[in-house]
Amino acid sequence: MNNHWLLLLFLCFILNSNLGGDTISANKSLSFGETTVSSGEKFELGFFKPGNSFNYYIGIWYKNTILWQNVVWVANRDKPLDYGTTNLTILHGNLVLIDKFQGIVWKTHAASIITSNHLVIAVLRDDGNLILSDMPNSSTPLILWESFDYPTDTLLPGAKLGYDKRRTQRGQVLISWKSLSDPAPGLYSLELDPSHARFVIKWNRTKQFCASGS
Ligand SMILES: *[C@@H]1O[C@H](CO)[C@@H](O)[C@H](O)[C@H]1NC(C)=O
Ligand SMILES: *[C@@H]1O[C@H](CO)[C@@H](O)[C@H](O)[C@H]1NC(C)=O
Ligand SMILES: *[C@@H]1O[C@H](CO)[C@@H](O)[C@H](O)[C@H]1NC(C)=O
Ligand SMILES: *[C@@H]1O[C@H](CO)[C@@H](O)[C@H](O)[C@H]1NC(C)=O
C-alpha cells in the first residue's frame, strides 16, 4: 500500500470535524461527527467507525499517527451506534452518550455527588486520560471518573492495571477487540491475579493460559 492509500483509509476511518478545545460540558456537547483534541494535540476523542463496520463508536485515539488501528479506548464497545444524531454530553453529573431517540447508550456511572450539570466537565488530557471532574473553576478539581480506570484493550503510559482489594474487590482488565471491525469484548483478557501477585492472560474470561512471574 502506498502512503496516499493509507492516508485515505485514515481519513475515512475518522469523521474529522474538530470542535476545538479539550473539554465537554453541559454547554458544549459533542455532536455526531465531531471530535475534541487534548491540549497538546496528542489525543483525539470522538465518533469513529472501525474497519469496514457500519457501526459508530465513541473512542480516544492518537491524533498524529497514520496507523490503521490507533484507537486506545472505546466507551460503548458493545453498544454500537447507527449513523445519525447522537450526542455526548453531561447529564445529572455524568458523561452520557445519547442516541437519536434520546435513549442513554452509555454513561460514566460516577457517584452522583454533584447533580448540577453546570458544575461538571470532562477533559481529554494529553496523556489520553478522559477525566470527569467537578468545579470547572477550581485549581484542585475533584475527580469523579476517569477513563484510565476503565481501559479497553490498551494500557497507556501513566495508567494502572491493578486490583482494588479494599473497596470494590475489582480490578482493571484489558480485553481484546472481537475483530478489527468490532471493538466488542473478544476472547482474550489480561488482568492482575491478586492472590498470586501476578498478571494472567485468560481465554474466554475463565481459562488461564499464560501467567507472568510474581
Ligand atoms: C445534546 O443533548 C443534550 C441533552 O439532550 C441537549 O441539551 C443538547 O442540546 C444536545 N446538543 C446537540 C448539539 O444536539
Ligand atoms: C454553562 O452556561 C451557563 C449559563 O450560560 C453558565 O452559568 C455555566 O457556568 C456554564 N458551564 C460551564 C461548565 O461552562
Ligand atoms: C466559573 O467561572 C465562570 C467564568 O469565570 C463563571 O461565570 C461561573 O459562574 C463560575 N462557576 C462557578 C461554579 O464558580
Ligand atoms: C465462553 O464461555 C461461555 C460461558 O461462560 C460460553 O457460553 C461460550 O460458548 C464460550 N465461548 C467459546 C468461544 O467457547
Q: State the CATH number of the domain containing residue 29.
A: 2.90.10.10
Last residue of a domain, one of 117, 148, 179: 148
Pair 180, 104 in one domain? no
Residue showing cell 445519525: 84
Query: Would the pLDDT of 8 be above 70?
Result: no
Considering every ligand atom, which ligand is closest to the CA of 185? 4
Task: Give a yes or no: residue 172 inside a domain.
Answer: yes
Task: Give a yes or no: residue 156 inside a domain.
Answer: no
Mean pLDDT of the chain: 85
pLDDT in tens, 155-180: 999 998 988 888 777 889 999 999 99
Last residue of a domain, one of 108, 126, 148: 148
Task: Give a yes or no: residue 100 inside a domain.
Answer: yes
Q: How far is CA 212 from CA 70, 71, 190, 201, in A?
A: 26, 26, 11, 9
Task: Give a yes or no: residue 155 inside a domain.
Answer: no
Mean pLDDT within 51-75: 89
Q: How many domains does the chain have?
A: 2
Atom index in ligand 1 nearest the CA of residue 31 equals 13
Task: Give a yes or no: residue 153 inside a domain.
Answer: no
Nearest alpha carbon, ligand 2 atom 10: 118
Instruction: Find the domain containing 136 and state its range.
Output: 3-148
Pair 142, 38 in one domain? yes
Nearest alpha carbon, ligand 3 atom 2: 137
Considering every ligand atom, which ligand is closest to the CA of 120? 2
pLDDT in tens, 96-127: 999 888 899 999 988 767 777 778 999 999 99
Pair 140, 198 in one domain? no
Pair 39, 113 in one domain? yes
Query: Would the pLDDT of 4 be above 80?
Result: no
Pair 95, 166 in one domain? no
pLDDT of residue 49: 92
CA of 204 to the centre of ligand 4 (A): 6
Pair 126, 67 in one domain? yes
Pair 143, 178 in one domain? no
Nearest alpha carbon, ligand 2 atom 11: 118
Pair 38, 89 in one domain? yes
pLDDT of residue 137: 67
List the 71-74 sheet strands across, edge first.
35-37, 43-48, 57-62, 71-74
Residue with the bigger pLDDT between 177 and 142: it is: 177
Nearest alpha carbon, ligand 1 atom 13: 31
Last residue of a domain, one of 148, 176, 192: 148
pLDDT band at 69 (very low <50, low <70, confident <90, very high): low
- What Rg value do the Cα atoms of the chain yield, rounded? 18
Q: Which three cell numbers stand for residue 86?
A: 447522537
Mean pLDDT within 18-40: 85
pLDDT of residue 54: 92
Atom index in ligand 3 nearest the CA of residue 119 equals 13
- Strand-pairing partners, residue 98, are 87, 104
CB 132 within 8 A of CB 147: no
CA of 175 to the centre of ligand 4 (A): 15
Nearest alpha carbon, ligand 2 atom 9: 118
Query: Would the pLDDT of 12 be above 90?
Result: no
Strands 43-48 and 163-164, how do they pair?
unpaired
Considering every ligand atom, which ligand is closest to the CA of 104? 1
